[in-house]
Amino acid sequence: MMIPIARPLIEENEKQAVIDVLDSGMIAAGEYVNKFEAQFAKYINSRYGIACSSGTTALDVALKAAGIKKGDKVLTTPFTFIASSNAILYNGAEPVFTDIEADTFNISPDAIRKKLKEELDIKALLIVHLYGLSCNMDEIMKIVDEYDLILIEDCAQAHGAEYRGKKAGTFGDVSTFSFYPTKNITTGEGGMVLTDNEKIYKKAKLLINHGSQERYNHEVLGYNYRMTNIAAAIGLSQLEKLNDFNQKRQRNAAFFTENLKDISWLETPVVPEGYKHVFHQYTIKINKNRDDFADYLKNNGIGYGIHYPLTVNKQPLYKKLGYEKEEYRVAEEMSSKVISIPVHPALNESELNKIVDVIGNYTE
Together in a domain, 31 and 117: yes
- Asked whether residue 5 is assigned to any structural domain, the reply reads no
Range of the domain at 350: 242-360
Domain end, chosen from 175, 209, 239, is at 239
What's the CA gap between 154 and 135, in Å, rounded? 11
- Asked whether residue 6 is assigned to any structural domain, the reply reads no
What's the CA gap between 301 and 324, in Å, rounded? 36
Together in a domain, 235 and 246: no
Domain end, chosen from 181, 208, 239, is at 239
Q: What is the mean pLDDT of residues 343-354?
A: 98
Together in a domain, 26 and 109: yes
Together in a domain, 203 and 81: yes
Together in a domain, 62 and 179: yes
Q: How many CB atoms lie within 10 A of CB 103?
A: 13
Domain end, chosen from 217, 239, 261, is at 239
Query: Residue 77 maps to which CATH number?
Result: 3.40.640.10
Please classify residue 150 by burial: count the beta carbons closer than 10 Å to its beta carbon, then call 0-12 exposed, 13-18 middle and 19+ buried: buried
Confidence of residue 185 (pLDDT cuts 50, 70, 90): very high
Taking only the tens place, the pLDDT of each residue in 47-76 is: 999 999 999 999 999 999 999 999 999 999
Together in a domain, 25 and 99: yes
- Asked whether residue 261 is assigned to any structural domain, the reply reads yes
Query: Residue 334 maps to which CATH number?
Result: 3.90.1150.10
- Asked whether residue 149 is assigned to any structural domain, the reply reads yes
DSSP characters over 321-332 = TT-TT---HHHH
What's the CA gap between 231 and 27, in Å, rounded? 9
What's the CA gap between 168 and 275, in Å, rounded? 10
- Asked whether residue 3 is assigned to any structural domain, the reply reads no
The structural domain count of the chain equals 2
pLDDT given at position 343: 98
pLDDT given at position 334: 98
- Asked whether residue 1 is assigned to any structural domain, the reply reads no
Alpha-helical (H) ranges within 26-108 are: 31-44, 55-65, 83-90
Taking only the tens place, the pLDDT of each residue in 75-127 is: 999 999 999 999 999 999 999 999 999 999 999 999 999 999 999 999 999 99
Q: What is the mean pLDDT of residues 303-329?
A: 96
Together in a domain, 175 and 53: yes
Classified as helix, coil or strand, 13 is helix
pLDDT given at position 324: 87
* Cβ-based neighbours of 350, under 8 Å, separated by 6 or more: none
Taking only the tens place, the pLDDT of each residue in 311-323 is: 999 999 999 999 9
- Asked whether residue 4 is assigned to any structural domain, the reply reads no
